[in-house]
Structures are given as structure tokens and as C-alpha cells.
Amino acid sequence: MEGNATSNTHPHVVVIGGGFGGLAVARELAHTDARVTLIDRRNHHLFQPLLYQVATAGLSAPSIAAPLRQILRGQPNVTVLMDEAIGVDLDQHTVKLARGDITYDALVVATGATHAYFGHDDWERYAPGLKTLEDAFAIRRRVLVAFERAERENDPAQQQAWLNFVIVGGGATGVELAGTVAEIARHTLPREFRRADPRRANVLLIEAGPRLLPAFAPDLSDKARKQLEKLGVEVRLGTSVTDIDAQGVMLGDTPYAARTVLWAAGVAASPLGRLLGAPLDRAGRVLVEPDLSLPGHPDVFVIGDLASVTQSNGQLVPGVAPAAKQMGRYVAQLLKARWRGTTVDKPFRYRDDGTLATIGRMAAVAQFGRLKLSGILAWWVWLIAHIAFLIGFRNRLVVMLDWGWAYWTYQRHARIVTGIDERDRPRE
Amino acid sequence: MEGNATSNTHPHVVVIGGGFGGLAVARELAHTDARVTLIDRRNHHLFQPLLYQVATAGLSAPSIAAPLRQILRGQPNVTVLMDEAIGVDLDQHTVKLARGDITYDALVVATGATHAYFGHDDWERYAPGLKTLEDAFAIRRRVLVAFERAERENDPAQQQAWLNFVIVGGGATGVELAGTVAEIARHTLPREFRRADPRRANVLLIEAGPRLLPAFAPDLSDKARKQLEKLGVEVRLGTSVTDIDAQGVMLGDTPYAARTVLWAAGVAASPLGRLLGAPLDRAGRVLVEPDLSLPGHPDVFVIGDLASVTQSNGQLVPGVAPAAKQMGRYVAQLLKARWRGTTVDKPFRYRDDGTLATIGRMAAVAQFGRLKLSGILAWWVWLIAHIAFLIGFRNRLVVMLDWGWAYWTYQRHARIVTGIDERDRPRE
């Protein structure tokens, strides 16, 4: 067993998950006596807000990801371990890892969320979601290969099915994917195909609810829909997907032939939440105390997308990067106060610094309290904010360069297909 | 059947393979009456001379690859099809593709080479080679994960086995990989690990022959060895690998524990060569006529690494990018002359513009006829030549930027592990 908990005066903080929340805990504990062990299945932190750009061939993966141990190398009290947490023994203060156990004085669980198919797990095969770099490569492969197959297809109906794209879910990810796929079809590819004109592509964005981007004010939802339609996306609100298979989707009782379906509809909390034995909300998030600790376990905290925290206005803290960062800093400050022998009296409070969603070329919506923006101005705010929050000078520079290049040429530099298209794999 | 061969006056040239050779044929046939169909399994042309840099996390994949149809989009007489050639019917002038057949008036086969294990195909699982982007990702994953595993390992012997790297084969690829892995261990990673010091890594370069880089003059081979040793690589010449498994390699009768083994030893021609029914050399290359045509089939040509062409000095034309490009241009010019009703009397002649191999930071060897360079000067020539031959302005700019950044910081920006480490997959 590693990380003996009581033999020295340096408290051992184990953080599971190297996303925005986990990283904020580790950074906020710099220059303290604490020993921090950050555990992640992957070797990298991922800047998820730009993941859709990797999926749509605008950015390379290394531009939006950085090795966790490189980010934290200047912090000698942090040890990074690439390993997978498979259980927690709250009585023994021990985390069970795939390659051994580790004990803690304080534990922070920040393993985030994954996509959910509402009981239709068989849809995943036909409609991949977007949470990891592997997901992004799979979506990139599907979208690019679909145009290749259309070019190779002689039957007109089959060809059109390869040129039909359905995106399920009208939240930020669905809107971003739909806008970008439409731009690729209309502007990036046309001159390159000789048989199947990419401009014949249909991009359908399906949302079961009454409006897009429910996190925004209704008038911004409406503006987002209009901007998407201008980019060539067909938006269908109040429409439910009742089935998905290799040939397309069922919209209510109406089949729609589309060989490429992308899933941006459902999010479920990481399965590690269930293993903590605490009450969960409907989406599987852990119902934490106002100080983000696990009920009955003041040394265990759950933060980020995995935590279910209700604000004073009755709404849940949203599953966004700024909220995860704020939770991480809050927990680290609470621990520091506790080690000093004092306490943090205030419960966690989410400070909403604004919400942004991009739609496509010079199209975005933004909401800062009462200030609402849309169109070009919102797009510039979105662009500058995302460059600013990227990690690493090299990445900021290259992303700016790639965006500038893409803007002027309509080209997307990462149009590289690797790996196997799932649609070619025979079903077992 | 597509590509009706005789119904119009535009000859139909089918090119299989979008590497340096195939692309040169298509480009040289711009502004002709010919219809060109370029077929490749992949959607991209790959700049293979820099593939080792993707494998060692220095460059992102899209920086050294570009979609074939983007490269050729300005050439309206070219149709690019992403498909796989599975057979050729020479009598019917037909290529069998995975998704349909296609007829030709002239056929150019340029499918290159892959790695070979000299009858030990089971070694591939333990010692991946480097020919495709997928190979590069697999090697990147193995090298980066090995250091992660060492950090996670408590047993000192096991830890050292994770820190031992064996590269089999002392040609250009082996030398490049060995030099870069040593640099990563000595300079990039040390500050980032807390338990397993990367400086304890051993990088072993094994060559069965008496010297490294046999394509160069013997004194340059010697200089390459000395430069590698200065970078921290242990070079073993005249040493044969007799077995490889998950634990390491057998060097003659001596086992050497190493969890990471990379294969840079053998090259075999693409299997399509065998399907042409022509005589092959020992490495499976097609023995072509002096005009690169298939014996008995003046309308079928084999170029690039798949062709076995003996020069007037008795030596084979080497399997390098400039030779493939020259062959591609030669065949296109021969076809153009034939369509004009004239002939090209001269057989193909390889013009050696020089050979370059990089070893590591400011270390390389270069040979231009009698002029031999090594060290910093050769390294600059290598660097400038490789930037110049990259396709695309964006790629040149970003590669320069990434190299400059890597040079000053010793960092490698693409240290992102994705996919599954084969060493974690249970053997069937």
C-alpha cells in the first residue's frame, strides 16, 4: 500500500481526475505542506471546450491537450500517477487503483461525466458522443469518410444517405458540431469532389425540447437557431429521436436516412460516483453537502460535473469548466483552512462569469448577467476567451494560427483519417 | 464497372497509392487530356521522412499529412477515390477494388513497402514498426506509457525493465528513433517524475551488420555511431536479435529485459506486387523493365519502393522519397510521349541528389556525391531540406515553430497518449 496516511505531518491529498476541477485542487495546494497525488486514467488534461474542433478537423489533438505531469512539473509536492480508480474504501481511507491501492487523508473525486443514451446503449455504436480525444477521432473519421463513401457510391439514394448528417441534441456541443459540419460541406470540400457534390449535404440538428441552448435566455436561443439556419443547418425543435441504426434515425414515426449520426444529447455522471455510496440525483451526480463534502465523510469531496450542487436560486450549478475550477479552488482553500486549525464558514457559491456558445463562422451567442450578445461580437468574445484559457503558450499560438488560416482559406488542416471506421466493422 | 477505357479519346490512367510516387504521376499529368484516378486506402498523403517525429511526440499527425484530394483539388482531371486495391486483371485492364472494379488504359502501381519480421510475424505484437500514422501513434503510446509504468512500479527490476528501450535496426529510422528516445529520457522528462528517474533509461540500438546507416560512406557510419553515443544511446553492432517477447529481447543467447522494443529492421514490398504475376526480388519487389513497365505489359508500371530497379553501377535504386518521385515523373513523361506518338528512348535513371539522416539535437550525417557532412552543419541541411519538402504552407510554419520550441525548451508538444496500449491487451 502506498501513501501511508498518518506517519508524517504532511497531509496526503489524493485527487482522482485531471480535468479542470482536479487540476485546480492540485494547483491551489502549491506551496503547502500537503503531499498531493493526482490520479488520471489518461496522461493528459483535455481542454474540452474545444474538443468539437478536433472532431471537425480544425485542430490537432495536441493543441488542446497537455500532459498532466508537464503542467504540474514545477510543483514538487505533486505526484502524478497514470492509473484508474476502481473503488473507494471510505472506512479505510483507501482508493483502489487498477495497479495498487493508495491511502489518503483527504480525497477529492473529480471524474466528471460521460455521455448517456437514456437506456439505449445500443445507439452508441451508430451515434458516437464527444467526451474524449478518442471520441473526437471517431467523429472526425465518420464525418470525413462519409463524404468519401458518397464519392464512391453509384446509387443516388445511397449517395444521399452518406451526405445526410444528423446531430442529436441542441445544447452547446450539438450546435457547434452542426454549424461546423455544415461549413465543411458548403465551403471546405466542394472543389475536391468530382462525383458527389458536398453542397448536397443535409445537416439536421434535432432537439427534443422547445429551443436550442437551454442554458441561455430564450431570445438568444432563437438567435442561435437563425444563425445556424443561415449556415445551412436544418433545425428541428420539439422532435424526438425514437430509434437509431446503421441506416439512419427514426424521428417519431418517420424514418430519415443518414449514415452519419452524432450524439450530443445526454450526459451521465462518471460511474465512480455510484461507488461512493452517497445519494445521487437523477443524472447520477453525487448530492454533496454545501461545502462539497460527501455526507458523513468530511474528508471526502466531490467536485465538477460529478457533483450535484443546488444554488440559492434553486438551480443546479452547471456542468461547465469555470464551475469545476471554482469548486476545486474552494475545496483546496477549505483544506488549507482546516490544516491551519480554522474553518471556512461559507458554503460553496458558484460565480457565473458568463456563458458562451459558438455556432460557426462569425456566429455565436454570449450572456453575461443581463448583457446578451450574438453574432460577430459574441464570436470575437468567444474566440478571445478560448485562446486565453488554453494551457501553454505554444498551443495558444498554434490555435490562433490554425484559426486564422481556416478563416481565410476555409480549409481545415486536420482532415486526416486514421483508425478503423466503426461502420466497416461487422457487428458481432 | 467504372472508368470505361475505350469510349472516348481521353486515356484513363489509374494510379494505386498516394505516396511520393503516385502523387508525382498525378501531378505530372496535369494539363493533359488524360483522366487520372488516384486510389488510396487512406485519405492522406504522408510525409514519411518525418513520421518518426510523430512517433516520438515532437509533431502532430496533421503537420506531416495532407488529404490527397486537397493536394489535388486544383487539378480537374484527377479523381481521388478512397478505396483498397485487392487485385489486378491484366488481361481485362481492370483493377479490383474493395468497393467495385475500375478499368484503365494505363496502370501505375505505387503501393510501397511495409515492415517485415523475417518470418517472425509474432514479433510484431511486441516490437511495432513504423510505416503509417497508426504505427506512429502506437510507438508514441508505448514509449510514453513505459515511463508512466516505471513511475507506478515498486519492484526495482521491473521498474528498470520499463526504463529499458531496445530499437532493432540501424538504418535511418532506427538511428532517428534511438536518438530521440534518448533525448526524451535525458532532457524532456526528468523534472516530471517523482519516483522513477527517466535519466536511468537505457536506449539500446541493435544492428546485425557491421555498421550503422549502410547507405552512407563508412566514415559517416562511424560518425553517426559516435554522435548517438554522445546522446546517450548504447550501440551494439554485429548483434542479432534471436527472439522478442513481452519481457524483452534475446541478443544471441543473452536475454535483455526491456518492456519497450521498436522494430526498424526489415522492409517488405507491398503484397500487391505479388498479385501482378511478375518475377519478384528477394524482398518481394517487382523486377520491372528499364522503363519501369511490367514485363510483357507495357501499359502497367511499378514505381517507388515496390519496384526493383538496378542502376548501371549494379546497385538497386534505394527506397527513398526522391527515387519514388523521379520514377513517377518518368512514367508520366513516358505516357505523355506515347500519347503524342513519340517514345522516350532513355531507360529510367536515378539521380542521387544526396542522402541525409538525422541523429538528434544538432547531430546528423549528409552525403552529396563526394561531399560528406556531419554534426551541426549536416543537421541544418537536414532541417532546411525537410521543411522545404513538406506539403503546405501551414505545415511548414507550424513544424518550424514546433521545432524551434522543442529546441529551446526540450519539450515535445505531442505527448498525448490515446488508444489502448497493446501491452495491456490480453493475448488470445
Residue-level pLDDT at A115: 85
Is residue A3 predicted with pLDDT exceeding 60?
Answer: no
Q: B286-317 in b/e burial notation, b at 16+ Cβ within 10 A?
A: bbbbebbbbeebebbbbbbbbbbbeeeeeeeb
Alpha-carbon gap: B51 to the closest alpha carbon of chain A (Å):
14
Lowest mean pLDDT among A208-212, B82-86, B355-359, B395-399: B395-399
Is residue A209 predicted with pLDDT exceeding 80?
Answer: yes
3-state secondary structure of B76: coil
Show residues of chain B in contact with A63, CB under 8 Å: 60
What's the pLDDT tens digit per position in A278-300? Answer: 999 988 999 999 999 999 999 99
Mean pLDDT of A192-218: 96
What is the spatial distance between Cα B68 and Cα B78, in angstroms, rounded to a whole number?
11
Mean pLDDT of A180-196: 95
CB-nearest partner of A416 from B133, B151, B419: B133
Interface test with B, best of A12, A44, A82, A84 (most B CBs within 10 A): A82
DSSP E strand stretches across B270-417: 286-287, 293-294, 297-302, 307-308, 355-360, 363-368, 371-374
Residue-level pLDDT at A207: 97
Mean pLDDT of A174-184: 96
Show residues of chain B in contact with A42, CB under 8 Å: 417
Residue-level pLDDT at A427: 56
Alpha-carbon gap: A340 to the closest alpha carbon of chain B (Å):
27
Alpha-carbon gap: B312 to the closest alpha carbon of chain A (Å):
40
Show residues of chain A in contact with B398, CB under 8 Å: 398, 401-402
Residue-level pLDDT at A1: 47
CA closest to A62 among chain B residues: B414
Mean pLDDT of B347-371: 93
Alpha-carbon gap: A99 to the closest alpha carbon of chain B (Å):
8
Contact B413 A402 (CB under 8 A): no
Question: Which residue among A28, A151, A153, A176 is the active-site one?
Answer: A176
Q: What is chain A's mean pLDDT, rounded?
A: 93
CB A302 within 8 A of CB A112: no
Is residue A4 predicted with pLDDT exceeding 60?
Answer: no
Mean pLDDT of B368-388: 92
3-state secondary structure of B45: strand
Is residue A15 predicted with pLDDT exceeding 50?
Answer: yes
Alpha-carbon gap: B158 to the closest alpha carbon of chain A (Å):
14
Residue-level pLDDT at B427: 57
DSSP secondary-structure letter at B272?
G
Interface test with B, best of A43, A141, A399 (most B CBs within 10 A): A43
CB-nearest partner of A152 from B44, B81, B414: B81
Residue-level pLDDT at A7: 40
CA closest to A76 among chain B residues: B194
Show residues of chain A in contact with B152, CB under 8 Å: 81-83, 99-100
Contact B67 A405 (CB under 8 A): no
For residue A31, what are the contacts with CB-CB under 8 A and spacing of at least 6?
A: none
Residue-level pLDDT at A6: 43
Is residue B1 predicted with pLDDT exceeding 70?
Answer: no
Interface test with B, best of A197, A417, A420, A423 (most B CBs within 10 A): A417
What's the pLDDT tens digit per position in A347-373? Answer: 999 999 999 999 988 899 999 989 999
Question: Which residue among B176, B207, B229, B234 is the active-site one?
Answer: B176
Q: Quick one: pLDDT band at residue B74, thresholds 50, 70, 90?
A: very high
Q: What are phi and psi of A200, to 5 degrees?
A: -80, 0
Is residue B328 predicted with pLDDT exceeding 90?
Answer: yes
Residue-level pLDDT at B393: 76
Q: Quick one: pLDDT band at residue B359, thresholds 50, 70, 90?
A: very high
Q: What is chain B's mean pLDDT, rounded?
A: 93
Q: How many CB pairs under 8 A join A and B?
A: 136
Residue-level pLDDT at A397: 85
What's the pLDDT tens digit per position in B389-423? Answer: 887 778 888 888 888 888 888 888 889 988 888 78
Interface test with A, best of B192, B397, B400, B420 (most A CBs within 10 A): B192
What's the pLDDT tens digit per position in A48-94? Answer: 999 999 999 999 999 999 999 999 999 999 999 999 999 999 999 99
CA closest to A391 among chain B residues: B413
Could you give the C-alpha distances from A333 to A17, A31, A32, A370, B237, in angstroms and in order?
Answer: 18, 13, 11, 30, 58
CB B256 within 8 A of CB B248: yes
Contact B60 A65 (CB under 8 A): no
Q: Quick one: pLDDT band at residue B426, thresholds 50, 70, 90?
A: low
Answer yes or no: B176 catalytic: yes
Taking Cα atoms as reference points, which of A54, A174, A59, A136 lies closest to residue A404?
A59
Residue-level pLDDT at B266: 82
Contact A144 B62 (CB under 8 A): no
Residue-level pLDDT at B115: 85
Q: Is the pTM of this model over 0.95?
A: no
